[in-house]
Amino acid sequence: MSEEELWAGQLGKTWARLAEAIDRQLEPAGTVGIAALAPQRGEAILDLGCGAGATTARLSHAVGPEGRVTGVDISPDLIAVARTRSGNERADFIVGDARTRAFEPAAYDALFSRFGCMFFNDPAATFAHFRKAMKPGGRAVLVVWREMRLNPWATIPAGVGAELFGPADPPAPGAPGPFAWADPEFFQPILEEAGFAAVAWTQAPLMLQVGEAGPHDPVERAAAMLVHLGPLARRLRDAPNELRRAAAERLAPKLRPFVSDGWVRLPGAIWVISARA
Averaged in consecutive runs of 10 residues, what is the pLDDT profile of the chain (277 residues)?
77 92 97 98 96 94 94 94 75 88 95 94 94 98 97 97 93 88 97 98 96 94 95 90 93 98 97 98
| Per-residue pLDDT at 89 | 63
HSE, CB side, 13 Å, CA atoms: give it for residue 197. Answer: 5
| Per-residue pLDDT at 25 | 97
Least Cα distance to 142 among 118, 178, 174 occurs for: 118
First-last CA distance in the chain: 33
Find the angle CA(200)-CA(201)-CA(202) to the nearest 5 degrees. Answer: 140
Q: Is 216 exposed, middle or buried (0-12, 13-18, 19+ CB in 10 A)?
A: exposed
Name every residue whose Cβ is closer than 8 Å to that of residue 273 and which is 6 or more positions away in sequence.
Answer: 140, 141, 142, 143, 144, 181, 187, 191, 199, 200, 201
Q: Please name every residue paired with 206 in a beta bridge, in sequence order, or none if there are none.
A: 268
Chain centroid to CA 27: how far? 10
| Per-residue pLDDT at 1 | 67
| Per-residue pLDDT at 171 | 85
8-state DSSP, 74: S
**Helix 19-37 / helix 10-17 crossing angle, nearest 10 deg:** 90
Rg over alpha carbons for the chain, rounded to the nearest Å, is 18
The CATH classification of domain 3-148+172-210+266-276, taken from the options 3.40.50.10300, 3.40.640.10, 3.40.50.150, 3.30.1360.40: 3.40.50.150
